[in-house]
């Protein structure tokens, strides 16, 4: 699958001069709402119109989508605008109804992506389809689970595949609705270089004022496209009001976003990049050496704790270290999130080393 260039063919067929853009409301609410948004987007950089028909809600009692009637509204929008239509499916019946209504793109949401049984049911219902199928990352940061869902779809002889990076749930409070965990998406991209990768800044941020920032980050990392929730009256949307933008705001964003070149063939650029990358490699080597030496000290601490029968985890000491490192990181231009993630990983590795010694 890694080397199957058919995965990118469907994207190349668009022959776009810019990254792919999928846009439309979080939820289809009324026929007029769907048609108005679609018509306002048809003469922009948007290639695919999206609208949620079935909406999985965390708790009962919320708006769970208009259901199959919304598919008829999307059919009408397709006829009026020529835009391709996309919606989320969560089971075999959704797949059946979407195909019956000639929906062009079906995506599988984050809540469904965590369930291999559900993915297999959808894959069986889609087997051999020529529709474009997009798989969102599962809500938890698990690359193997994301890949497993992708493989189930590919094994069902579905070749027009792509993935959507929409961020991951986390217990820790951050500025994001769903933490990006960019490295997981990068690992997916490195594993499957011919797999179209689309960013969902609406669900990553949960805030319309951050969508441009995250969209630019994705384009800077050579993502193939964006899926952005767009509504004519975002503040009064029936679902996810805070993360939707107006069609006019979306069009302005297209003007402001910068698409980077993959590389540059100029000799001076390549020479300078070679020098800078050599410096990065040197620093990376030094980082590993420092971390290795730090773990040797952690091992000695573990031996002392074992000798004196002292608990491995020392919360007061740990909180003091973390607070100090966050402050020092700020002085060096490092974000709080980065420092926290890095030192939590280092701390966990130290705990693991000491557990082996104390319990060995």
pLDDT in tens, 241-251: 999 999 999 99
Nearest to 259 by CA among 48, 45, 18, 12: 18
Tokens of 291: 């971390």
Distance between CA atoms of residues 63 and 45, nearest Å? 30
Answer whether 257's CB lies under 8 Å from 30's CB.
no
Judge whether residue 1 has pLDDT over 90. Answer: no
Which residue is listed with tokens 């003469």? Answer: 43
Q: pLDDT confidence of 353, banded at 50, 70, 90?
A: very high
Residue 137 · residue 110 · CB < 8 Å: yes
Sorted by sequence, the CB contacts under 8 Å of residue 69 that are 6+ apart come out as none
Residue 173 in this model has a pLDDT that exceeds 80 = no
pLDDT at 225: 97
Q: Which residues contact 76 (CB under 8 A, 6 or more apart)?
A: 31, 34, 35
Identify the sign of the CA torsion 293, 299, 304, 308.
positive
Task: Report whether pLDDT(266) > 90.
Answer: no
What is the rounded distance in angstroms from the CA atom of residue 204 to the CA atom of residue 188? Answer: 17
Mean pLDDT value across the chain: 93
pLDDT at 56: 77
Please tell me the predicted confidence (pLDDT) of residue 164: 98
The pLDDT value given to residue 327: 94
Alpha helices by DSSP H, listed for the chain, are 6-12, 31-41, 69-81, 92-100, 110-113, 116-126, 143-155, 182-191, 201-205, 211-220, 247-256, 267-308, 315-331, 336-359
User: What is the set of domains in the chain, with CATH numbers?
Assistant: 6-256 (3.20.20.70), 267-359 (1.20.59.10)
Per-residue pLDDT, 142: 94
Q: For residues 204 and 166, is the Cβ–Cβ distance under 8 A?
A: yes
pLDDT over 90 percentage in the chain: 83
In the predicted structure, residue 223 carries a pLDDT above the cut 90: yes
Are residues 197 and 224 in contact, defined by beta-carbon separation less than 8 angstroms? yes
What is the rounded CA–CA span in Å between residue 327 and residue 320? 11
Closest listed residue to residue 167, CA positions, set 211, 114, 204, 221: 204
State the helix-helix crossing angle for 92-100 and 69-81, rounded to 10 degrees. Answer: 40
Ranges 100-109, 139-148, 224-233, 268-277: which has the least confidence: 268-277
Residue 92: band (very low, low, confident or very high) from pLDDT cuts 50, 70, 90: very high
> What is the pLDDT, as a whole number, of residue 8?
85
Does 144 score more than 80 pLDDT?
yes
> What is the structure's pLDDT at 3?
64
Q: Which residue has the higher pLDDT, 67 or 260?
A: 67
């Amino acid at each position: 699958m890694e080397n199957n260039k058919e995965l990118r063919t469907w994207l190349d067929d668009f022959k776009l001069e810019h990254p792919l853009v999928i846009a439309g409301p979080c939820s289809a609410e009324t026929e007029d709402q769907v048609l108005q948004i679609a018509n306002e987007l048809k003469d922009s950089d948007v290639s695919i119109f999206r609208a949620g028909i079935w909406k999985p809600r965390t708790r009962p009692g919320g708006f769970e989508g208009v259901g199959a009637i919304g598919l008829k509204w999307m059919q009408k929008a397709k006829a009026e605008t020529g835009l391709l239509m996309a919606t989320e499916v969560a089971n075999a019946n959704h797949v059946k109804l979407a195909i019956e209504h000639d929906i062009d793109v079906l995506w599988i949401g984050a809540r469904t992506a965590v369930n291999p049984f559900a993915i297999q049911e959808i894959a069986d219902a889609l087997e051999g389809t020529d529709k474009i199928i997009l798989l969102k990352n599962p809500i938890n940061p698990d690359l193997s689970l994301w890949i497993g869902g992708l493989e189930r779809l590919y094994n069902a002889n579905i070749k027009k595949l792509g993935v959507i990076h929409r961020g991951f749930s986390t217990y820790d409070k951050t500025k994001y609705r769903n933490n990006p965990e960019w490295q997981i998406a990068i690992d997916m991209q490195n594993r499957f270089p011919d797999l179209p990768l689309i960013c969902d800044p609406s669900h990553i941020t949960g805030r319309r004022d951050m969508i441009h920032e995250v969209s630019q980050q994705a384009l800077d990392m050579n993502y193939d496209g964006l899926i952005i929730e767009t509504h004519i009256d975002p503040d009064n949307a029936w679902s996810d009001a805070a993360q939707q933008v107006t069609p006019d705001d979306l069009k302005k964003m297209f003007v402001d976003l910068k698409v980077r070149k993959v590389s540059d063939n100029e000799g001076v650029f390549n020479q300078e990049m070679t020098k800078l990358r050599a410096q990065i490699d040197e620093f990376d080597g030094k980082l590993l050496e420092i971390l290795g030496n730090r773990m040797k000290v952690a091992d000695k601490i573990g031996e002392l704790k074992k000798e004196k029968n002292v608990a491995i985890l020392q919360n007061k000491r740990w909180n003091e270290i973390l607070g100090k490192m966050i402050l020092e990181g700020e002085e060096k231009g490092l974000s709080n999130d980065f420092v926290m993630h890095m030192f939590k990983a280092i701390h966990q590795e130290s705990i693991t080393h000491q557990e082996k010694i104390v319990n060995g």
